[in-house]
Amino acid sequence: MRKFNFYPGPSTIATSVLEKMRAEFIEFEDTGAAFFELSHRSGTVVDCQRRIVARLRQLMGVGDDYHVLLLHGGAIGQAAAIPMNLLRGKKQAAYAITGHWGRLAAGHAEAHCQVERCIDTSPECTSIPPADQWQVPADCAYVHFTDNETINGVEFQELPDLDGQLLVADQSSNILSRPWPTDKVALTYACLQKNIGPSGMAVVVVRKDLCGEQLPITPAIWNYAKQAKADSMANTPATIQLRMLELVLDWTAEAGGAEEFGRRNRAKADMLYDFIDASDFYANKVDPAVRSRMNIPFVLADASLDDQFVTQAEEAGLIGLRGHRAVGGMRASIYNAMPEQGVSQLISFMQDFAAGNG
Amino acid sequence: MRKFNFYPGPSTIATSVLEKMRAEFIEFEDTGAAFFELSHRSGTVVDCQRRIVARLRQLMGVGDDYHVLLLHGGAIGQAAAIPMNLLRGKKQAAYAITGHWGRLAAGHAEAHCQVERCIDTSPECTSIPPADQWQVPADCAYVHFTDNETINGVEFQELPDLDGQLLVADQSSNILSRPWPTDKVALTYACLQKNIGPSGMAVVVVRKDLCGEQLPITPAIWNYAKQAKADSMANTPATIQLRMLELVLDWTAEAGGAEEFGRRNRAKADMLYDFIDASDFYANKVDPAVRSRMNIPFVLADASLDDQFVTQAEEAGLIGLRGHRAVGGMRASIYNAMPEQGVSQLISFMQDFAAGNG
């Protein structure tokens, strides 16, 4: 029986999407083969790739002045690919560090340029200073920020207001979880494995005029200009991810798109934060103004009960709640595919656990 | 109904493997989720990764002095990653060009070092000169060759005898298709999508003592030393590929491993080449001494019949036979998962087509 899956990624996918994929797993339509057994040059796969791009354009409001690329690897791959493609002769880039993933992205960029950490809230990472406090040098190629930090549970509530700077946003863990001003961001990227599919692919939405000046050492599979020209097929893409991505995007659109998920995710997160804040047994330390709607870390009053909490939660049909090893405690990841019922069952369990151990 | 699928990659996978994956597609064992919805840090996924490595060590005869890595991207990704990792301070590497993919790999390496094309059989690419005719400079970091060229249909029948040189072999299209002397090769690599799974991952088997001197610009996801230390989980791997790779490797082992597939593939290829050679209507131009057992390109006596051949073959349940756009004509890709019956049905169809158009 399927359980409520709170893993941070890879993570839960709508059961209806899995059922559709399962139904076509031996043969896709009347092709005589599974989708992922067909050549990526076949009309079937090429059409799927085009439908995905059109769907992403619709769901994210992507204009004609942007490329939509579907590339190998996840966000850590792109953490390397972004400076390779976007430095455009400049010597430095700025990184806003509001948690684990921003810190990692900055480290990966250091192989290619001088990295200015324009803010760094380490080690606590429980707040985000307003943009007028960021130290952004004048001649940066771009300013990178992690729109949602999965481990620290910190999320930007709006774009940092940095007039005249090119923004690069890592939306790995909150893409399509709410409306997003794609046209105000130079590059938006995300791995699939939180809100839009299984791991093994990244979506990159990038302004066309910024592509084409990549470093000579840029691998072909991450050369944005080359991949744009080839409709993301300069090499063989991960075709099973393509088809699953399409099914998840269809499901996202049918449910009402980013606006509807914005409402649902706000409601789910409010329910859980309200419960935690009202409790003496659980605590979340993040500044309420920047709390993540996707990943809600919390600690128990007595950390020696952590293992017991995880075990009993699993017995109650709630999996994936252990916090990241870097910070400990618990974490509930409640992406688009987590229904409200999953959150209310989690709260019921947390109530019972607190009552039994308070 | 499933058809005989001759696509060059992505390509046919054993139906029994697909059935197993389909059976667990909504829930893997008693985890409450699909395999690819579980965290890559969960015991379930970590154990799978370890079983795959153990299975590859067994099937390929990999010694303890080698790492077995499972990395994002396919062979074109590795074409960039190999020089990044293996130059080790040297300025040049040698590439043996016996077809399209070797030519591409050499091009990708040029971003990082001086590339010596120690042989180049372009444009015909129908033969392989013996190793004593190769022009390998004394101080090369390694000698790269493409063990099987899918487009040109040329395959090495044995390792090039280059005493004292480190060999790097692209086995993308023939890994586990016959016994392979892994211990005589510094690095063997392959994408999954021909003999061992869907596209979206590469296997790299590399001598441990060669790792650790990567270029500073090496992306973390392709840093062999880093990935070896992290059991290929320095970043989130493509977990759906992991599970499918495991199922294909299990199927490979149950069938008798590389030795058994060596026999089967020899028999299938001989059957098709014998038919083509005896025919006035079809022709294969490759030197019989180096013909591929995996990809058999052939031309029709009258190229104006090509479209008709492809259409009628599809109607007869034989898909994916059109040759690569770079060379035209036809191509039958007959990887491990293509049963002998598929080849005999292809031959029957070719006989009928020739009789009807001869």
Is the model's pLDDT at A167 over the cut of 80?
yes
Tally the residues of chain B: 358
Mean pLDDT confidence for B176-194:
98
pLDDT at A158: 94
**Which pLDDT tens digit goes with each residue over B239-288?**
999 999 999 999 999 999 999 999 999 999 999 999 999 999 999 999 99
Burial of A103 (0-12, 13-18, 19+ CB in 10 A): buried
* Annotated catalytic residue B251: no
Please report the DSSP string for A160-204 in residue order: ---TTPPEEEE-TTTTTSS---GGG-SEEEEESTTTTSSSSEEEE
**At B326, is the pLDDT very low, low, confident or very high (cuts 50, 70, 90)?**
confident
Q: How confident is the model at residue B358 (pLDDT cuts 50, 70, 90)?
A: confident
Rounded to a whole number of angstroms, the distance from the CA of B83 to the nearest CA of chain A is: 11
Instruction: State whether A221 and B76 contact (CB < 8 Å).
Output: yes
* pLDDT value, residue B163: 86
| Predicted structure pTM score | 0.98
Task: Provide, as residue numbers in chain A, all residues whose Cβ is less than 8 Å from the Cβ of B36.
Answer: 10, 198-199
Question: CB–CB of B219 and A193 under 8 A?
Answer: no
A44–chain B Cβ distance below 8 A for any pair: no
Task: Provide the token pair at A355.
Answer: 């009552």
Whole-number average pLDDT of chain B:
97
Cα distance between residue A31 and residue A48, in whole Å: 14
As a whole number of Å, the CA-based R_g of chain B is: 21
Say what the pLDDT of residue A163 is: 86
How many angstroms separate the CA atoms of A58 and B329, rounded? 40
Q: How confident is the model at residue A325 (pLDDT cuts 50, 70, 90)?
A: confident
* pLDDT mean over B136-162: 96
Tell me the H-state helices in B87-157.
Answer: 100-109
Q: CB-based contacts of A144: which residues, under 8 Å, 6+ apart?
A: A82, A93, A94, A95, A96, A102, A105, A106, A109, A168, A169, A170
pLDDT band for B348, please (50, 70, 90 cuts): very high
CA quadruple B178, B183, B10, B304: dihedral sign:
negative
The nearest alpha carbon in chain A to B24 belongs to: A22
Contact by Cβ (8 Å): A153, A295:
yes
Q: What is the rounded distance in angstroms from the CA atom of residue B161 to the CA atom of residue A298?
A: 61
Angstrom distances, CA of residue A314 to CA of A151, A320, B32, B281, B311: 21, 8, 9, 65, 54
Predicted ipTM beyond 0.90: yes
State the count of interchain CB pairs (< 8 A) between A and B: 213
- Rounded CA separation B199/B177 (Å): 17
Q: Which residues have C-beta within 8 Å of that of residue B119, sequence separation ≥ 6?
A: B96, B97, B98, B128, B129, B133, B134, B135
Average pLDDT of the segment spanning A30-44: 97
* Whether the predicted pLDDT of A172 surpasses 90: yes
What would the DSSP string read from start to end of A211-253? -S---TT--GGG-HHHHHHTTT-SS---HHHHHHHHHHHHHHH
pLDDT > 90 in chain B, percent: 97
Determine the pLDDT at residue A66.
98
Contact B220 A108 (CB under 8 A): yes
Q: How far apart are CA A252 and CA B211, in angstroms?
A: 43
Closest CA to A235 of A72, A76, A82: A72
State the average pLDDT over residues B194-205.
98
Binning pLDDT at 50, 70 and 90, where does residue B325 land? Answer: confident
